[in-house]
Amino acid sequence: MNKIMNLFSLEGKVAVVTGANTGLGQGISVALAAAGAHVFGVARRSCAETLEKVNEVDGKFTEVIADLSDLSAIDIIMNEVHKSVDRIDILVNNAGVIKREDAINVSEAEWDLVVDLNEKMVFFLSQAVAKQWIEDKKGGKIINIASMLGFQGGIRVPAYTASKSAVMGITKALANEWAQFGINVNAIAPGYMATNNTTQLRNDQDRNEGILERIPAGRWGTPEDMYGAAIFLASEASAYMNGYTVAVDGGWLAR
């Protein structure tokens, strides 16, 4: 049994998690650190709370401050990580933004803000890390954070829906090209999670009740609900998984 359970160990691995200062990124950082990885958490604000939570599980966490709305952040991330370690083993593209607005009123600036962070950064940060993996022939793991709205249209979030649908497509496309190099590219599609991105929905009594009525599990998800899927996709246990999006949604899509 120990040999099988060792497949889930991340001991000695280095993980980069974007959007690590709060919400799902914070939860994923804690999970990977608890499994043994040295986590480099990227955010434009302090990750002090995440560091505290990682310390509680006796994990290792290093903060990297970078504004992921601009591609210049890629060089900052790579340079900061490589000051301490030789290579990255795991990349979690979690950082994202959502803007709620009627489709008829969405501006170009709002659209670009969402798509640049949620889609463009995911691709080019993955590309930067994969270049090193292909060069050193050691492979690696990419986990993209998609969304239920990669499967559905949603309401008042057209740019977010477009970007998260693209994340699922990018996951498949990169898996097709990079699996031959020992690079696994997969995604997690969280359901309705109790994070800062959903505060507005949870504060709307009608929407909140409507959402809860449809979730078979009967509750909003939490960052802790992401632990298992994140560790699985980051570990050798998922070595033959490529291009797949795992839904962690309390049964929402099955309803």
pTM over 0.95: yes
Predicted local confidence at residue 1, as pLDDT: 55
User: Which range (85-99, 130-144, 200-214) has the least confidence?
Assistant: 200-214
CA–CA distance, 193 with 253 (Å, rounded to integer): 14
Query: Can you say how many angstroms the Cα of residue 184 is from the centroid of all Cα atoms in its chain?
Result: 14
CA–CA distance, 78 with 175 (Å, rounded to integer): 22
Query: Is the predicted pLDDT of residue 104 greater than 60, yes or no?
Result: yes
Predicted local confidence at residue 157, as pLDDT: 96
Checking 99-108 for CB contacts under 8 A at 24+ apart, the result is 99/157, 99/159, 99/160, 100/156, 100/157, 100/200, 101/156, 102/156, 103/156, 103/158, 106/158, 106/159
- Tens digits of residue pLDDT in 4-29: 999 999 999 999 999 999 999 999 99
Query: Is the predicted pLDDT of residue 85 greater than 70, yes or no?
Result: yes
3-state secondary structure of 5: helix
160, 227, 240, 244: which is the annotated catalytic residue? Answer: 160
Query: Is the predicted pLDDT of residue 131 greater than 70, yes or no?
Result: yes
Predicted local confidence at residue 2, as pLDDT: 84
Predicted local confidence at residue 200, as pLDDT: 85
Predicted local confidence at residue 241, as pLDDT: 98
- Confidence band for 46, pLDDT divided at 50, 70 and 90: very high
Confirm whether 160 is a catalytic residue.
yes
Of the candidates 131, 120, 109, the one whose C-alpha atom is nearest the C-alpha of residue 70 is: 120
CA–CA distance, 188 with 81 (Å, rounded to integer): 24
